[in-house]
Chains A and B, each alone.
Chain A
Amino acid sequence: MQAIQTTQLVKQYKNRTAVDKLDLEIRQGELFALLGINGAGKTTTIKMLSCLTKPPAGDAIVGGHSITKESKQVKRLISVSPQESAVAPNLSVKENLELICGIHGFSREQTKEKIQELSKQFSLDSVLQRKAGKLSGGWQRRVSIAMAWISEPKILFLDEPTLGLDVIARHELWEAIRSLKGKVTIILTTHYMEEAEALSDRIGIMKNGRLLAQGTVEELNKRAGTSDFETAFVSIVKEDAV
């Protein structure tokens, strides 16, 4: 069953086409990585799928609802952890979590339980009382993902979750993301090949707003005739230039 299906999805900014007639299918429960170099259209795709921006043409069905006609219903099913750290800087980590619980209508008791659960799942105990704005980039991303997970969405969008993080912070965040696998459909954008390879069930390679290829790492390697995913990615992207 498909969690997301896009049909000829388009987004243009002035004279530039950011997403060009995108046809994409993402299965329920899988972790799908949208991989591409900067400006490939990954973030714009996420913005359209999460109803942050409207496509001028095409449509997508997210969790059974159209993003162009049923954005309210779509918003009830999804959650987004944006590219930058999206936390309230003067609030403690606990208060940030409480805020999102409140927005989703949790009672005081439910909020307390949820925060305990999230602290355990994302190992947030040591930073719970600290101001979110004073945390390192890695911790802020972790809190950001925990905030996105509060509503237990059916579909979770993680936009460049490890961008700019050091290797240790990245690996720790990968663990947090892995802990969500199987519980939710995750769409993750990245331009780190090793990240897509380590986390994803399937990968879609984007360039200039178009989907060049999609499949498992093995399928993409086979298509490019190589055993190394980085070489396969370069080959597929360059193949398009020819």
Chain B
Amino acid sequence: MRRMSFAKRCTKEILRDPINLAFGLGFPLVLLLLLSAIQANIPVSLFEIDTLTPGITVFGLSFMTLFSATLIAKDRESAFLQRLYTTPLTGFDFIIGYMLPILPIALGQTVICYLFAIPLGLTVSINMVYAVVGIIPMAIFNIALGLLCGSLLGVKQVGGICGALLTNLSAWFSGVWFDLNLVGGTFKRIAHALPFVHAAELEKALFNGNLEGAVSHILPILLYSALITVAAVFCFLWQMKKQ
């Protein structure tokens, strides 16, 4: 009950922020339109709608990190969290309350991206459902990363690190905007050591019904999700105790 009350509050705080809506939903859709327009004039296989849309859904998740980090950092900087620390809410309640509401938002964003891409020529199939479900591990990674950043950084730092740096890193290392083989070398190795390219490839594989291809990419994502979730929980509880 108390956990759900707090989770409900977090959902309202996020969804009532117009900037969140504009960036979280609007930006991926604008990118879909823009890159589809480029594709219409100068065909590039990377920007074909069936390849582009799964990648955009993964890129869109980086905004979930920004949402969760901003909310937590704002709460920490105001006296609101201090007030809640004196209530019967436990550390676990806070973590669930912060993380849980963002997962449906992430799934909603993914669904909207796929639906939006249909008039642009996206192939409609049951695989779309698998692709939406398959985004959950990466969504957890991004939400946990937000919890981690929000626990350690202030509101301004969150804006810089999660808003600018992470969205760019996620874009560069996902192989959505350019073929990683074109850069190759260390850049490609770094990209493959991070979860972004695996998430984009997993989405593409699921969307294209290539389950075998999906399996090889899910392990790094699960590992990163577990690692970042543990680190985020530890850091949140640490700052809670410190405060």
Contact = CB atoms under 8 A, between A and B. Distances in A.
A99 B9 CA distance: 7
Contacts of A148: 83
Given A52-B243, A83-B79, A90-B16, A75 B86 contact: yes
A87 B80 contact: yes
Contacts, number: 77
Interface residues of A, number: 34
A190 interface: no
A78 B13 contact: no
Q: Give the size category of B's interface with A.
A: 20 to 34
B6 interface: yes
Contact of B80 (A88, A101, A102): A88
Contacts of A104: 2, 87-88
Given A50-B86, A105-B1, A86 B79 contact: yes
Interface in B185-243: 243
Contact of B86 (A79, A87, A101): A79
B89 interface: yes
A91 interface: yes
A82 B79 contact: yes
Contacts of A89: 13, 78
Interface string B56-82: 000000000000000000000011101
B84 interface: yes
Interface string A76-118: 1011111111111111000100111111110000000000000
A232 interface: no
A100 B80 CA distance: 11
Contacts of B78: 84-86, 89
Contacts of B17: 90
A209 to B, nearest CB: 20
Given A76-B88, A90-B13, A99 B80 contact: no
A80 B89 CA distance: 14
Contacts of A98: 5
A86 B85 CA distance: 12
B2 A52 contact: no
A147 interface: yes
B89 A103 contact: yes
Nearest to A107: B1
Nearest to A79: B86
Given A84-B79, A88-B13, A88-B80, A99 B86 contact: no
Contacts of B1: 102, 105
A44 to B, nearest CB: 13
B165 interface: no
A51 interface: yes
Nearest first, the 3 closest Cβ-Cβ pairs linking A and B are A102-B5, A82-B79, A86-B79
Interface of B: 1-2, 4-6, 8-9, 12-13, 16-17, 78-80, 82-89, 243
9 contacts: A52-B82, A76-B88, A80-B83, A82-B83, A86-B78, A87-B80, A99-B8, A100-B87, A103-B87
Given A88-B80, A102-B8, 19 more contacts: A52-B243, A53-B243, A72-B88, A78-B86, A80-B86, A82-B79, A86-B78, A88-B12, A88-B13, A89-B13, A89-B78, A91-B12, A99-B5, A102-B1, A102-B5, A103-B2, A104-B87, A105-B1, A144-B83
